[in-house]
Structures are given as C-alpha cells and as structure tokens.
Structure 1
C-alpha cells in the first residue's frame, strides 16, 4: 500500500469533503458525526440546495437528485420533519424549517464557514500546483489535455 501523503491533491479534496460534511451535519442535524446519518445529511443538503435556488423539491425530485430510493427519502423526510428540521409546503415541496430557532441560527453560521474551508483548501492546492495549472489560461489547459 502506498504511503499516505498530505501533499497530494486527493488528500486536500478528501479532507475538504469530510470537513464540509461535518459543517452540514452540525448545521442541519446538530451532530458532528456525518456518517451516523449520511442519508439524512445528503437529504438536508439537497433540500437546502433546492431552497437556495428557490425551487424546493418534492420527495420524488429529492430521490432523483441524490440517487436514493423514494421510499427511503419519504421515511427520512418523516423523521426529519418529526425532529423539526424540515417542513413541506402545500405542494409537498420540502424546505429547511424556519420555525426552529436552533436550526435557523446554525444555518446562519453555516454561510461563512464553507468559504473559510474552501479558501484554506485552495491555498493548499496552489502550493501543490507544480505545473502551474492554476495560472494558465483555460484554453491552454484544454489544448494540452487533448494532445
């Protein structure tokens, strides 16, 4: 097995994924352990995306969006609704609950934290950029990859 190294882009991406998962789990599920309910984490993230895009999704659309069976989505939504984390509107489209002050406060805090993580990851990736890809124009990168 190859030795793990922190100076690999894959390391930075994997760490960013886990750090972002923890942030989202803390904001939506009040848990720092995203793996304890990964399905709910994905579901809340998808609901939040739909809400931010002003296009809330039904259970069927959510199932399609995250690649989860519709019965599982329906069951998870019922659980999240019972916990006061999500609500459905009259058209059965799901949104993050604004009636729960704890959830509202955690989501407000979520808005700045990801930018800090992304900035830190970008800095790490830039240091690793031995071929100076980040400073090249996009057309030059595309030309080199097509050869």
Structure 2
C-alpha cells in the first residue's frame, strides 16, 4: 500500500514566520549599524590580519554595550551587523568570509538563527560550523566568529 507524504501546513507556516522575523530583525539591526566597530568586550583583539587572512573574534548580538533584547533572531542580526563592522575595519566585506564558527546556547533555536544568519549574509554562503554551548558572555544566545580571505595585493 503506497502512502503519500503530505506537507504539514503548520510546519510550513512556522518556517515562513521564522524567515519573516529574521529578515525584519536583520533590516532593523542594519539600520542601527555602527559607524565604527565596537571595542572588544574583553582582553582580546576583535579583528586581526594574518597575511591574506582576516580573523574576526566572536561577535555577540551587542548594541550600545548590551545584548539586544528580542531573542535569537535579533541577536543574530546584530551579531552579523557587528561582524560586518569588524570586517570593514580590515578592508573586507561579508563576501570575503570563507568560514564561520557559530555558537548557540539553545540548539532548539537553530531554525530561527539560521534564517537570520542567511538574511544577514547577503547571499554569501561560507563554510560554517554551529555548536551548542552551555552559555555565552553577558548572557548572549548567539556568537559568530569569522575567517575572511582578502589578498593584500
């Protein structure tokens, strides 16, 4: 007896809602984009060049010195805005990123995180690892580290 797979309309609607929320959060965060990259929140260098590589330390969803309210979508959108500011300070764009390492405190929010991440990366699809962690600094839910390749010549 053949069975047909029907798509779950509730699941499909939920996916659309997640994508809409992520896009909205990304646009809102981009409007508040910092003119210059934020200072490091600890004893580390936020961005460093090593030859043709630019390495950006993990960026949290921080604006004006605090984790942004509103959950994973908004924190991811802000983390991407912060990442773009750090990249810009080193002469790079999001399209130069070749690898990201992402940390989530709740892997159940992966779909929401993923939608906001995709919206923020402007069509770029670098290699990526996403790891679930127990906690992040300042109570953040998301952190994004990046490696960009931008030849000096």
Bin the TM-score by the shorter chain.
under 0.3
Q: Which of the pair has more CA radius of gyration? A: 1
Q: TM-score, normalised on structure 1? A: 0.25
RCO higher in structure (CA 8 A, sep ≥6): 2
